[in-house]
Structure 1
Amino acid sequence: MKKKPIERHQTLREKILENIRDAILKGSLKAGERVSEPDLAERYGISRTPIREAFRQLESEGYLTVVPRKGAVVTALTERDVEEFYSIKSILEGYAARLAAEKLTDKDIDRLKTINTRLAKLASAGDVKTFFRVHNEFHEQFIRASGNEKLLELIQQLLKKFDRLRIASLSLPGRMEISVQEHEKIIDAFESHDGDTADRLVRKNAAYGGQVLLQSMTE
């Protein structure tokens, strides 16, 4: 009997998270704009506690910055943020791919192919949200196969902090389709157990994600 309020609390929290993320990605909430706790509490008819929890998660994902005495504001993205994130991402994931190339089994590679087939369908449907989640599964599959737990932990922490950048990049026209094509080349390298090529392709894929996002920011 006591579980219902918890389930409602979690559902509302997820709804708040999704609405704020969407508003920021679509530009209806702009950099530096304040996101009001009281307004959200009134709109959803809830206390401020789940809203504060949502704000903390959105801050960890790079969407919001909580400023003392001002509250939560939309975090501004800079070109430097993009350049630094994607340069680090490319090095770490490239190294993971190099290690994984020696260890991936036929079953692992079949799994990567299955995931990429699904990504191709999601790209055709224009489903960015689901594509983003499944895209994460593809990369996590080979990063885990690297066998380096500390590397996996570092990459996961980095990605969580910059989810906003990655979704913004995948949302750009044609970006999902190109990602699927790049994955096919990466899978070929894994099948050949070619660590050098896998490293280079994964770095290239990450670098391209940063380049198209930078271009969209300057247009």
Structure 2
Amino acid sequence: MKKKPIERHQTLREKILETIRDAILCGVLKPGEKVAEPELAERFGISRTPIREAFRQLESEGYLTVIPRRGAVVTALSERDVKEFYAIKAILEGYAARMAAKNLSDRDIDRLESINDKLQQLANEGDVKTFYRVHNEFHELFIRAAGNEKLAELINQLVMKFNRPRLASLSLPGRMQISVDEHRKIIEAFKRRNPDEADNLVRKTASIGGQLLIQSMAREEGREPTEKSVLDQMVDI
């Protein structure tokens, strides 16, 4: 008898999370804009408790900032935030790839190729949400293969807090295909058991994601990006 309310609660919570995430990513909710509890409570016909729980989850993912006596507002991302996140991500995941190049089994590499084939299909279909989930599986596989639990924990804590910029980056035109193409290069480095190449490629992939997002942010603000388009740079990578 106790299971039904819990199941319903979780379902509603997920709906709230998805509604707010989509509104932020699509630009319906702007940076600094308040996300009102009463409106969501009325829309879903529920109390404010599951809404506040959803807010805490979205705050941990970097979508919202909960301010005392003001409530939840959409977190404003700065170029500095994006640069710092992708710089740290590049270092940590690059090191993980370096270690994984020595540890990945042939079966692991086959699995990476299978995941990337799925990503190619999702990129063709334009399914960003599923792409994002499967994309995480690709990175999680080689990070686990690095054999360093503390490193895996650090990376997980970092990327969980920056889900929003990562998903926003993958949503940009052409970004999913770039990711698939870069993954193919990383897989080849793993096949060659080349730690240096794997490290460098993973770092470059993170750098591409950060640069694309910064360029998109600049255009949204009516500014011209200071650097040439990442797509133009791809011929050099």
- TM-score of the aligned structures, taking structure 1 as reference length: 0.99
Higher RCO (C-alpha 8 Å, min separation 6): 1
Match of 1:88 in 2: 88
Aligned length: 219
Match of 2:150 in 1: 150
**Matched residue of 2:65: which SS?**
strand
Amino acid at match of 1:18: E
Give the drift of 1:177.
0.5
- How far apart in 2 are the matches of 1:123 and 1:129? 10
Corresponding position: 1:198 with 2:198: yes
**Matched residue of 1:46: which SS?**
coil
**Matched residue of 1:9: which SS?**
helix
- How far apart in 2 are the matches of 1:42 and 1:172? 33
Corresponding position: 1:209 with 2:231: no
- How far apart in 1 are the matches of 2:140 and 2:3? 33
- How far apart in 1 are the matches of 2:217 and 2:38? 32
The 5 Å alignment of 1:57-136 reads 57-136=57-136
Match of 2:55 in 1: 55
C-alpha distance after superposition, 1:18-62 (max 9, x if no partner): 000000000000011111111111111111110000000000000
Amino acid at match of 1:148: N
- How far apart in 2 are the matches of 1:42 and 1:185? 49
**Matched residue of 2:172: which SS?**
coil
- How far apart in 1 are the matches of 2:210 and 2:64? 21
| Unmatched runs of 5 consecutive residues or more in structure 2 | 220-237
Aligned-residue identity in percent: 75
Corresponding position: 1:42 with 2:42: yes
| Unmatched runs of 5 consecutive residues or more in structure 1 | none
- How far apart in 2 are the matches of 1:182 and 1:131? 15
**Matched residue of 1:27: which SS?**
coil
- How far apart in 1 are the matches of 2:31 and 2:2? 40
Give the drift of 1:2.
2.2
Q: Which runs of 4+ in 1 moved over 3 A?
A: none
- How far apart in 2 are the matches of 1:143 and 1:94? 9
Amino acid at match of 1:14: E
Corresponding position: 1:177 with 2:174: no
How large is the RMSD of aligned CA atoms in angstroms?
A: 0.5
C-alpha distance after superposition, 1:165-197 (max 9, x if no partner): 000000000000010000000000000100000
